[in-house]
Structure 1
């Protein structure tokens, strides 16, 4: 053997030393880098893992009425509330070494590199569940070195500060499953109409295969491709030891039933939901992002059955070809809870909410406020005033006003306040306003909750100052509730994504008007449905009397451009408005009847399963039978008697004598010839 020359040996040893030195340096550098990463992870602390989640809105029966997601559906559920099959399928196909590595699977990375080099393309990925979770939480999906480094840093921070269970829970709640669906709970609901803890092996394997290509492997787009991917997931579960091969084969054969989705499903009470969102902003002080993406659970007062009845009646009563608009609002007068709300005939065409945003002339629906104020200032249901064409002067004699009754019908004689309200006599109303003063009416309206500006002019008695429907219905609710005011309530409770109660409504009422006078007013308002009060014209509810089956109080109102009907029982108050957005004249007779027709059908159907309650008299009132034509105490001679309520001490004391002479003459006429001549004998 030829000996190695010393110079050659020395040269080789130099390279060995250099290699050892570089190796040691690289090792120290690697450990230093790793230590720096770990130190960075500890110093940086636990990264925030909150992600956008869908806010869900519920009706008063707990059923979902809508969600706020900007096209994305997100829900967060605990790992314990996710089917074990989902967890096993996800780990088997995405990251089988999940519980063994510390964020990076080095062996898998090396294998992926070799496979990609051999194929001269990216054919295999090596991202762990932790890496994917980091990408979903904080990063874009752009393929740059900067993004790769950031992903690695976030991955280390996640592994250093969270348990494997927490990371897995976060991953399953943020991964994208296609169709705007994020997270396993949203995916379970979207594809199978069930919760994440109810998924079978077959369903879990199908969903676990989607994230690799959410569009490509969606069973709703191409079920054949999705089934091929499902088979791969099931085989992975077998290889990982989660299930037996027979179970995998059976799961593959199981027929999956998917939820049928319609691109344009009709939303539930969209106008109502808009008001709820507005209240979340104004009453709770929540910002737009929290409302839309905060994962809130908002429990509302909406009654889905009443809402459906309201929508059906609008569709059935109003001619499809009519351009007239409509709004409806119903609430419980005892609690203020809004049960149904419609702000227009088509939300997609016009999201403008006419029930809460528009100000329209209320017409004669304003008169109950006038007569309440009059009763407080000495008027009674029997107070008589002449109904005749009258011109009033105001503004210190500089202006005049001549109100007209419907069709220019007048009694041309005295009528009572009770009859004036029932037949909606305009002259009587303006005379009443002149007696008590416009300031008293304005004060009463404001106390009842009218927020709009009211002009102190004679026509105010006839509802010429525009107001909001929600204010009018709330004011009627106060009268129905014996003078106790309850603000309209839309939200019962709000819970955040972590289960904390952010808001819970506390019921409260305030006695704002006199209890006894409120009852007298409410009873006066039953007159529009009572033919006993017919006089020179019929009561304004005559056209719908045949459709009512229980006691109601209410008032209709009509102007050239607006038609109203607001009425109540002790359990429910509802208001309906119809008219044209641009103030066009309502000229067709059937269009003038829309509000009443919608109202009576809504009330009758909504209360069909409720007891028929009457208005219970208060302690400070007394009911007596009167002759409705003159307001005096009725006698046996009166052909018509009506029980009417008064504040104690204001009831009439004079008896009706109008029919005594007629009754005597009638008796004389009914005598036989023998009885007539008998006195002569």
Structure 2
């Protein structure tokens, strides 16, 4: 038995203490540096996790109508709960098996990678964790240099110190590049498989999880064999990680996967509408314009994709491709002000100029309902009589104005207000404007929502001052909505990539006229399609009345350069303008027919699946049967009759004294037909 001497023990202890002191001496700087590093990352705090994301626009029923891509990249942010567990398991297995057990750095992998680099004499193998890769995606360039690695370590430490593992994994899955311009698992899932990330199968997930290793090399579109080899590696890693068994791996590998290879978003619909929404985002919603470009917002709009499709269809069907005439069109819900469809031109690709919101054109006779609303408030009734004949109006000795009816046709006798509206008599309108005071028309138009500049002049009654399609449609919505105006609304709410609502717009209602006046005005505008009001010419809506199968009101209007119609049911208001961009005169035989045909076909199509609704009659309105020509109560002497509505107390009390006819229900033959030659009669019929 060997005896250990005390001196030997002392010598051994001396050497051991020397090693301990040496170790402490060299370890102290490392400990100090580590402490400084911890203090440093805590002082810096959590790094911002802002990532360029694609902003998506939704229509009604959450249907996607378009997108705004940052720098031409597809990026969609989804929560971890909206990602298939298969893609989560596959990603962790192949990228970072010990993800939940480390604090941002996998030291075993680092050591292995370091040995491989030393043997190769170069940087050949990576050991980055998901956290490190996430920090690289957010803040750094992909160069494999030691300085970049050091910065990556700092960012990774800050992320680990301030965010949960779920936050990190969610961020990684939403920022990793999957090839073909797709960043994030949602964009990649939509692109490769045409489905959301939540619906990915095990086979699809294992194929997708292998792509980030080499987005070009492992793309199943460019090289399916490479992608399948990589899928096998992913599945083996999942088996090794215990999230699937061998049998599941084999089945997943053998399961055929359909590769689509394009984003599942539809071809961009309603480009003009989307432009208007982006303008609101940048200028009215209080959002930083830079954030709009890369914020990944989910914008829930008022657009109805089905109605938009119908609007586009009837514009395309009605106007020949050979014509250079343009169009502006808006369809709006009068109850909410929600813009349901918008056409800003024939081709957004050829011209992004929005003729529905940006253009200002003379509205012609579509402006007359504002005049007659003011007149009703001043005591006019549907039976008010004025003479229709060539008339010159004077403003001083030198300034004279002589309005003309279309085609220079006149009744040359008194006509009722109801007839004046229906046949669009210009002389009646100018007389009324002067009688009630030209300021009254300006005030009423402004009250109803016309924001364009107006002048209190006699000719304003004929719509000589330019206005926009949207403001005209919005103003008409007052009549359809019992005197209440709902401000036009394009956006219901905006949600950021985290799911927080950052902007919301409710319905903004304002009562601008009494319900009685709105209802009586609507009844007058229904007469535009009622041939019982024919007089010296046909009612202006005669040519499309066959397409109207429910209570509908409206007004046509035209100038030498513009053709309009704005009309409505209780559920929908639509306005259509057609004309040339640069003041070209409308062609007599073709151009003047487009707006009415687009409007009538669209309204019939748009309302086809909706129940027939009546305009609700408010208290303070009475209906009586009157003779259309005289405006007096119908009787056996004037049996032709039409139910007409009046403000209570203003309805006629006298009976007509005309001659009886053999057929009381016979539609009146326009007097103009009796006075005109055959060509003028054909021309008049064509236009109406």
1:6 match: none
Pick which of 127-136 and 495-504 moved more.
495-504
Counterpart position of 1:195 = 196
Distance 1:566 1:135 in 2: 56
Matches within 5 A, 1:243-254: 243-254=244-255
Secondary structure of the 2:61 match is coil
Residues 618, 202 of structure 1: CA spacing in aligned structure 2 closer, same or farther, 3 A cutoff? same
Alignment match, 2:484: 484
**Partner Cα distance (2:286, 2:407) in 1:** 51
User: 1:678 — aligned with what?
Assistant: none
Structure 1 partner of 2:206: 205
Q: Structure 1: how far apart are the matches of 2:247 and 2:588?
A: 73
Distance 1:617 1:24, change over 3 A: closer
2:34 aligns to what?
Answer: 34
Quick one: structure 1 residues 654 and 83, their matched pair in 2 at CA, closer, same or farther if it must change by over 3 Å?
A: closer
Equivalent residue, structure 2, for 1:422: 422
Q: Which residue of 1 aligns with 2:584?
A: 584
Deviates more, 1:55-64 or 1:93-102: 93-102
Query: Counterpart of 1:404 in 2: which secondary structure?
Result: coil
* Distance of 1:611 and 1:524 partners within structure 2: 23
Between stretches 314-323 and 76-85, larger displacement belongs to 76-85
Q: Is the 8 A contact 2:450 2:471 kept in 1?
A: yes
The CA deviation at 1:25 is 4.3
Q: How does 1:274-313 map to 2 (within 5 A)?
A: 274-313=275-314
* Offset from partner CA, 1:131-181 (integer Å, 9 cap, x none): 111111222224444432211111222233333333222222221112222
Farther off after superposition, 537-546 or 137-146:
137-146
1:38-90: CA deviation from partner (whole Å, max 9, x where unpaired) = 22223323323343333322212122222222223333333344323222221
In the other structure, the counterpart of 1:3 is none
User: Is the counterpart of residue 174 in structure 1 residue 170 in structure 2?
Assistant: no
Using the alignment, how far apart are the partners of 2:142 and 2:39 within structure 1?
26
How do 1:265-280 and structure 2 match up within 5 A? Answer: 266-280=267-281
Unaligned runs of at least 5 residues, structure 2: 1-14, 664-688
Structure 1 CA distance for aligned equivalents of residues 339 and 447 of structure 2:
20
Q: Deviations over 1:332-351 (max 9, x none)?
A: 11221211111111112222
The aligned residue for residue 669 of structure 2 is none
- Structure 2 distance, partners of 1:628, 1:373, is 22
What is the CA-CA distance between 1:207 and the residue it aligns to?
A: 1.1
Contact map agreement 1:38 1:160 (CA 8 A) in 2: no
| Aligned residue in 2 for 1:11 | none
Deviation at 1:118, TM superposition (A): 4.0
Q: State the partner residue of 2:356.
A: 355
Shift of residue 453 of structure 1? 0.6
For 2:335 and 2:198, locate their aligned partners in 1 and report how far apart those are by CA, in whole Å. 41
Distance 1:502 1:123 in 2: 45
**Where in structure 2 are the equivalents of 1:119-518 lying within 5 Å?**
119=120, 122-261=123-262, 266-394=267-395, 396-518=396-518
Check 1:570–1:231 CA distance in 2 against 1; reply closer, same or farther (3 A cut): same
Q: May I ask how many residue pairs the two structures share in their alignment?
A: 648
Q: Which one is further off, 520-529 or 256-265? A: 256-265
Distance, in Å, in 1 between the alignment partners of 2:95 and 2:616 is 69
| TM-score, with structure 2 as normaliser | 0.89
Runs of 5+ unmatched residues, structure 1: 1-14, 664-681
CA contact (8 A) 2:136 2:152 kept: yes
Secondary structure of the residue aligned to 1:305 is: helix
Shift of 1:588: 4.4
2:10 equivalent in structure 1: none
SS at match of 2:598: helix
Question: Per-residue CA shift, 1:85-112, capped at 9, x if unaligned?
Answer: 2222212222223334332333323332
Query: Does the 8 Å CA contact 1:37/1:156 hold for their aligned counterparts?
Result: no
- CA deviation vs aligned residue, 1:292-335 (integer Å, no higher than 9, x gap): 33233222221121111111111111101111111111111122
DSSP-derived class of the 2:299 partner = strand
**Alpha-carbon distance in 1 for matches of 2:611, 2:199:** 41
Show the counterpart of 2:605.
605
The 10-residue stretch of structure 1 (326-335 or 470-479) with the greater mean CA deviation from structure 2: 326-335
Tell me whether 1:78 sits opposite 2:101 in the alignment.
no
In structure 2, C-alpha distance between the alignment counterparts of 1:573 and 1:79, rounded to whole Å = 43
Is the Cα–Cα contact under 8 Å of residues 482 and 515 in structure 1 kept in the other structure?
yes
CA offsets per residue over residues 246-270 of structure 1, 9 Å max, x none? Answer: 3222211111113352799631212
Q: Which residue of 2 aligns with 1:46?
A: 46
Query: Cα offset for 1:117?
Result: 4.5
Q: 1:48/1:388 Cα in 2 relative to 1: closer, same or farther (>3 Å)?
A: same
Does the CA contact (< 8 Å) of 2:190 and 2:262 recur in 1?
Answer: no
With 263-272 and 464-473 compared, the bigger mean Cα shift is at: 263-272
* C-alpha contact (below 8 Å) 2:134/2:172 kept by paired residues: yes
Residue 554 of structure 1, CA deviation: 0.4
Aligned to 1:533: 533
Deviations 1:579-623 (A, max 9, x none): 111121111422211110010111111111222223233221222
Distance of 2:503 and 2:541 partners within structure 1? 42
User: What is the distance in 1 between the residues matched to 2:109 and 2:142?
Assistant: 21
Contact 1:383 1:416 in 2 (8 A): yes
Q: What does 1:609-648 align with in structure 2 at a 5 Å threshold?
A: 609-648=609-648
Deviates more, 1:24-33 or 1:225-234: 24-33
Moved more, 611-620 or 474-483: 611-620
CA 1:40–1:363 in structure 2 vs 1: closer, same or farther (change >3 Å)?
same
Specify whether residues 265 and 76 from structure 1 end up closer, same or farther in structure 2 by C-alpha distance, changes over 3 A only.
Answer: closer
- Return closer, same or farther for 1:505/1:263 CA change in 2, 3 Å cut-off: closer
By how many angstroms is 1:529 displaced?
A: 0.4
Instruction: Give the structure-1-normalised TM-score.
Output: 0.90
Alignment-derived partner of residue 668 in structure 2: none
Moved more, 17-26 or 457-466: 17-26
C-alpha deviations, 1:479-536, integer Å up to 9, x for none?
1112111111222222333333333333342221122122111111111101111111
Q: Which moved more, 1:115-124 or 1:132-141?
A: 115-124
Deviations 1:9-62 (A, max 9, x none): xxxxxx999999876544332222222222222332332334333332221212
- How far residue 188 of structure 1 moved from its aligned partner, in angstroms, is 2.1
Specify whether residues 106 and 221 from structure 1 end up closer, same or farther in structure 2 by C-alpha distance, changes over 3 A only.
same
1:397-418 deviation digits (Å, cap 9, x = unpaired)? 3211111111111112211111
1:106 and 2:85 aligned? no
Q: 1:653 to 1:87 in 2, by over 3 A?
A: closer
